[in-house]
Structure 1
Amino acid sequence: MKDWTLFEKIWLLTFTLITIYLFFAWDDSLLGLISSVTGMLCVVLVAKGKIANYYFGIIQTGTYAYISYSYDLYGEAMLNGLFYFPIQFIGIYLWKKNQTRDSIRGEDVRVKRITAKGWYLLAAAIAVSSVLYGIFLKMIGGASPYIDSLTIVLSVTAQILMLRRYAEQWLLWIAVNVLSIVLWLITLLSQGGNDYSMLVMWTAFLCNSIYGYYNWMKLYETQEAAA
């Protein structure tokens, strides 16, 4: 971990310890603990531009899909089980083809930036898709269908930007993480349950997405300067 900053080490250790504490203090589920810890490892490695994130992502997406399904969050379950899980393998392949190597940082992925025109197209697609998918989730009896829908659509869009290595993916992840915190808070308060590690995980993801945007912008500038 020679290329890990002090902030990254403290961040990962702090949220991991909090999650483990909640597991014992609130009788949390073992599956929730596994999903939360592997999820945090995954997103930290994404923020650092490391391909190893996908290996932890395989575990996290599979466990999180099951947990979401058990709470009737069908959008979250479908997103993770049918989209995130298989896309981890695609991500490994695509990122391996676009690596850089630095004597200090080790292997990083090459970072790109999105254009203004690209943002306009994304905004329109997100708005239309969120409404349509929200209607579908409401029809099948999903909990919080429109929040769930917007979270899913933003997540899919951010994941595609991640596969394409765009730094702006992190702005969408920030929105996703805020919405996910609200979604799980509403769900746990209304349905009960003890998977509070999900709230800790999404709070950790939010902190990481802010850091991820900062770090990827630095990576982009460094790579452009070296080009």
Structure 2
Amino acid sequence: MLKDWTLFEKIWLGLFTAVNVYLFFAWDDTFLGFVTSISGMLCVVLVAKGKISNYYFGIVQTATYAYISYGYGLYGETMLNALFYFPAQFVGLYLWSKHKMKDDIKGEDVQIKSLSTKGWAYTIVSSIILVILYGILLKALGGKSIWIDSSTTILSIIAQILMLKRITEQWLFWIAVNILSIALWMTALVTQGGNDLSMLVMWTAFLVNSVYGYVNWRKLWIKQKGETR
């Protein structure tokens, strides 16, 4: 499984796993939080490498994360994962499998695309409108941290759609989602208490991975673009 992984990827994954194991024993973290964090990290690292197998870990992560979010009253996160992310894993398995690379290029399984100028404009305008509308809904439901929750939810949906379409710029949206999610969980843990510190570790790791994912996908897209000329 690790034969085509770079040294950075191996060290990064090992370090993240070690931190989660430490939190589990030293801070009495929940076992479900531990499973969510580990499966989530494996998922996003494999996405960054363009590996179809990321979706298997995504199935585990989205299901357990939805359960944890519900317990903290983060209904936007709960609905996002249970009603969108979870079924999206199966859709992703199907779509990515249809667009495998024929050539044996290191660290890459699928064909990659880039967002057009028109696509950027449509995506940004849609994001703003949907964040406002969903924030109003969450407020009516009595949710906590509604605007951060709304922003992470909508941007996550857009990022996931771009991911399913194999578009490189998905990572820019994931970076924004991860920053907002760190703020969301810091607020939830401070105001409500709880031992799920692994959620903070997970989102921080996701942020670092998103930056790496963008850099790696840009390189892969440029390489694929050059080979198709």
Offset, 1:104: 5.5
User: How many percent identity over aligned positions?
Assistant: 63
Structure 2 residue runs of 5 or longer lacking an equivalent are: none
Does residue 83 of structure 2 align to residue 68 of structure 1? Answer: no
Match of 1:223 in 2: 224
Match of 1:28 in 2: 29
Match of 1:146 in 2: 147
Tell me if the contact between 2:101 and 2:110 (Cα under 8 Å) persists in the aligned partners. yes
Tell me if the contact between 1:101 and 1:107 (Cα under 8 Å) persists in the aligned partners. no
Alignment partners' CA distance in 1, 2:14 and 2:103: 26
Alignment partners' CA distance in 2, 1:66 and 1:42: 18
Offset, 1:102: 4.0
Match of 1:193 in 2: 194
Alignment partners' CA distance in 1, 2:172 and 2:40: 18
Does residue 15 of structure 2 align to residue 14 of structure 1? Answer: yes
Q: TM-score, normalised by structure 1?
A: 0.98
Match of 2:120 in 1: 119
Tell me if the contact between 1:39 and 1:56 (Cα under 8 Å) persists in the aligned partners. yes
Does residue 185 of structure 2 align to residue 184 of structure 1? Answer: yes
Offset, 1:223: 1.0
Q: CA-to-partner distance for each residue in 1:69-89, whole Å, 9 max, x for gaps?
A: 000000000000010001100
Query: What secondary structure sits across from 1:108 in the alignment?
Result: coil
Tell me if the contact between 1:36 and 1:201 (Cα under 8 Å) persists in the aligned partners. yes
Q: Which runs of 4+ in 1 moved over 3 A?
A: 101-104
Alignment partners' CA distance in 1, 2:67 and 2:10: 29
Q: Which moved more, 1:130-139 or 1:98-107?
A: 98-107
Structure 1 residue runs of 5 or longer lacking an equivalent are: none
Alignment partners' CA distance in 1, 2:217 and 2:198: 27
Query: What secondary structure sits across from 2:196 in the alignment?
Result: coil
Offset, 1:105: 2.1
Q: CA-to-partner distance for each residue in 1:101-156, whole Å, 9 max, x for gaps?
A: 44362651100000111111111110010011001101111110110001000000
